[in-house]
């Protein structure tokens, strides 16, 4: 591990520990998705609270490889893990929610532009991270722990997270780090190489990848964020800026009237 990254990892672990102490909490809960960000956060939390970090593996019609990778991280670092299959709960809730369109005025359903068949729709996919966060907060509340989120600066800036889903957390240790920073930190933290090399994915559906859904690469986004809009194609700069504006509500507390 390089000296600069030793300090950065140690500083982040110290910061996590300080936040836990300040909240008079006992430890940290982190969801293990099988991806890079969650692996790095889990390891940092373990450094901060060696015997007071709990991982949660919460499959929900997930790719079996993701659960395998989550187990790999847990085994590699000796992290205690709770596993809860959310698929039955998700299926029941999704089935009930499909009746919503039968209960609201036609003009409202039509104006939404949303099909009554929600199977391929983002609102239904977003139930998965929201269910996971409900479980994480149940665990945290039960143990007097804090929930550590896994969002990084790249994702947070363009709102690439589910509001009140994976975006809901008490701590965001990676919130100031670009995706490339997280990857460098992961190598120095000895995260398994297969996790580092894995294409980033929110795991909302089989075969989904972040860059395919976003429509541009993390490297292009980081060039925009670090070197300015003039360093990417004008159309891409406009798209990024539009995403930043349209997702501002995700990064703020609920709006209130001025008076």
Checking DSSP bridges between strand 53-57 and strand 81-83, what pairing results, if any?
Answer: parallel
**What is the SS3 assignment for 32?**
coil
- Give CA angle at 148 (251, 49), nearest 5°: 150
Q: What is the pTM of this model?
A: 0.91
Which segments of 49-102 does DSSP mark as H helices, in order? 64-77, 87-97
pLDDT reported for residue 6:
60
Q: How many residues are given for the chain?
A: 259
Residue 201: exposure state from Cβ atoms within 10 A (0-12, 13-18, ≥19): buried
Instruction: Tell me the torsion sign for CA atoms 188, 191, 194, 199.
Output: negative
Which segments of the chain does DSSP mark as H helices, in order? 3-22, 36-48, 64-77, 87-97, 106-112, 122-125, 127-143, 153-157, 179-188, 193-197, 210-214, 218-227, 234-246
The pLDDT tens digits for 202-240 are 766 676 778 888 899 999 999 999 999 999 999 999 999
| Domains detected in the chain | 3-212 (3.40.50.620)
205 close to 125: Cβ distance less than 8 angstroms: yes
Q: How confident is the model at residue 149 (pLDDT cuts 50, 70, 90)?
A: very high
């Amino acid at each position: 591990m390089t000296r600069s990254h030793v300090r950065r990892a140690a500083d982040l672990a110290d910061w996590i520990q300080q936040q836990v102490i300040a909240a008079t909490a006992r430890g940290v809960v982190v969801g293990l998705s099988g991806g890079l960000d969650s692996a790095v956060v889990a390891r940092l939390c373990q450094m901060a609270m060696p015997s007071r970090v709990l991982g949660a593996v919460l499959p929900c019609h997930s790719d079996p490889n993701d659960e395998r990778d989550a187990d790999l991280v847990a085994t590699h670092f000796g992290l205690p893990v709770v596993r809860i299959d959310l698929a039955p709960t998700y299926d029941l809730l999704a089935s009930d929610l499909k009746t919503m369109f039968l209960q609201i005025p036609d003009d409202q359903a039509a104006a939404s532009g949303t099909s009554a068949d929600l199977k391929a729709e983002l609102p239904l996919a977003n139930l998965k991270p929201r269910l996971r966060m409900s479980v994480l907060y149940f665990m945290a509340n039960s143990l007097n722990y804090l929930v550590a989120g896994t969002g990084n600066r790249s994702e947070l800036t363009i709102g690439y997270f589910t509001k009140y889903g994976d975006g809901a957390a008490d701590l965001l240790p990676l919130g100031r780090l670009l995706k490339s920073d997280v990857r460098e930190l992961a190598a120095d933290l000895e995260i398994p190489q297969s996790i580092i090399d894995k294409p980033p994915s929110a795991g909302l559906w089989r075969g989904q990848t972040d860059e395919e859904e976003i429509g541009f690469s993390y490297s292009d986004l980081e060039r925009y964020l670090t070197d300015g809009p003039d360093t990417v194609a004008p159309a891409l700069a406009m798209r990024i800026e539009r995403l930043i504006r349209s997702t501002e509500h995700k990064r703020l507390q609920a709006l209130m009237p001025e008076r």
